[in-house]
Amino acid sequence: MSTTSGSTGALGDAAPARVPRRLAAADRRTQLLDEAATLASEVGAEHVSMEAVAERAGVSKALVYRHFDNAEALLLAVAERELGVAAAQIRATMQRAVTFEEAVRLALGAWFDVLIERGPLVISLLESPTLAGPLGERRRMLRSAIGVHFAAQAAATYGLGLQQADVATTILLAGLEGVIDCWLDGRAPRWQLVDTYSTICLAAYRALADEPPVIGV
């Protein structure tokens, strides 16, 4: 055996090189999003850094920067993916509803399911001060998309004007944060919160249909 061969073998045994596994760009991006999501779930979104994600993914920090400008952009991409999954899950669940009441209950139940499945991640992202601005806008867009659907159904069910149903729905959707707070704080079980919130929503629409508010006086 030559000296060169022996030396190469010894060095290889002593210090094996860690070569990142080659992935297509889309697959690498997904991997980085997955690692960032796991970190946010474990330690909180505010502790997610480009260095930490690179280490978890087994790649260089430079490679992470090829896909995302900074940690905020990376976390925002994670948040957009999670909100997209949540919206799709809620829409798919609502399609099973026959009545408007069922739609309200199923939608709220689907949101609880999202929190149960990915609660630590979703809550960490929603409470991140770094993402407050850009993520707040995306949350408003999601709420608006869901609100348009509910407003149209409420208007048809209770004979309301679309503008009136839209305003009422926007106000009611804002109350969802209180529902989730009660659940996270352990103040009420899931079934009770679904019943309470659904009752409030349906009663509000019925009240508006029975006694429309006087506007412009």
- Please list the pLDDT of the chain residue by residue as tens digits (217 residues): 444 444 444 444 444 445 556 778 888 999 999 999 999 888 888 888 999 999 999 999 999 999 999 988 998 899 888 888 888 888 888 888 899 999 999 988 988 888 888 878 887 777 777 666 776 677 677 677 778 888 999 999 999 999 999 999 999 988 888 998 898 889 999 999 999 999 999 999 999 999 876 655 4
Cα four-point dihedral sign 128, 131, 133, 135: negative
pLDDT of residue 21: 64
Tell me whether residue 203 is in a domain: yes
Give the torsion through C-alpha atoms of 101, 151, 205, 200, to 10 deg.
Answer: 60
Tell me whether residue 62 is in a domain: no
Tell me whether residue 111 is in a domain: yes
pLDDT of residue 88: 84
Q: How big is the chain, counted in residues?
A: 217
pLDDT of residue 20: 56
Tell me whether residue 55 is in a domain: no
- The count of domains in the chain is 1
The range of the structural domain enclosing residue 107 comes to 79-210
Distance CA 178, CA 196 (A): 12
The structure tokens listed for 89 are: 């899950």
Tell me whether residue 148 is in a domain: yes
pLDDT of residue 94: 81
User: pTM value?
Assistant: 0.69
Tell me whether residue 100 is in a domain: yes
Tell me whether residue 130 is in a domain: yes
Distance CA 134, CA 139 (A): 9
Tell me whether residue 49 is in a domain: no
pLDDT of residue 9: 44
